Structure formats: structure tokens, C-alpha cells
Amino acid sequence: VTLHLNPISSVHIHQKPLVFLLNSPLPLVWKLKTERLAPGIRRVFIVSLGSIVQFEKGNFSLSAETEEKLFPEKNEHLLQWAQKEYGAVTSFTELKISRNIYIKVGE
């Protein structure tokens, strides 16, 4: 699955830390494609067991962290866990089948 990340239209270059929880019932390769995200900013990608994150060429991967974790099974439990773990959830998306996911990051 390719995860496309770029800032909302009102933000020229996104310069804040981000945390993504990428959950799947089967192990996946998450391919990251980014636009206009400032280098050197902490970005964390937590994936379900057996999954990996592949970064595009460039220096984005130098400031990105990946971690495997066993997530709660049901979405409502995952959401509660994320809120408890990180204090807030700004976006939650569930897709049954997808090759591309487009996410706008920003304020």
C-alpha cells in the first residue's frame, strides 16, 4: 500500500512531528511518498506485526522512526488505545481494500 503524505493547501511546508498508526490484519509493505514535508522533523510510523515501511530515496528516512506493535483488534479499542497513548487522534481512516492512501497533514 502506498501512503501519500502532503500538507494541506494553506501550509507550504509541513514542519511538525507526526505519528501514524498503520494497522492491517495481514502484514503489509507500506510505501511512503511525501511532498513538502520538512526534513529533520520527527515522524513515527507504528505498524502492525510483520509489516514494514519503505521510504523514498532522500533524507526523509533519517528523521523517521518505525516500530512494530501488536494493536488492539477492534477499531474502537485501537482508537481508545491511541488516545490514551498519544493524548489525541486527529484523523482515523478505515479502508477495506486500497493500493493508495492520500493524507493531507496540517493544522
Residue 52 belongs to domain spanning:
2-105
**Mean pLDDT, residues 53-76:** 87
Confidence band, pLDDT 50/70/90 cuts, at residue 100: very high
Backbone angles phi, psi at 63, to 5 degrees: -105, 0
Task: State pLDDT tens for residues 12-38.
Answer: 999 999 999 999 999 999 999 998 999
Predicted pLDDT at 88: 86
- Going across the sheet that includes 2-7, the strands are 52-54, 29-34, 2-7, 100-105
pTM of the model: 0.91
Residue 4 is predicted with a pLDDT of 95
Query: Is residue 107 predicted with pLDDT exceeding 70?
Result: no
Number of domains in the chain: 1
**Which residue carries 509493505 as its cell?**
29
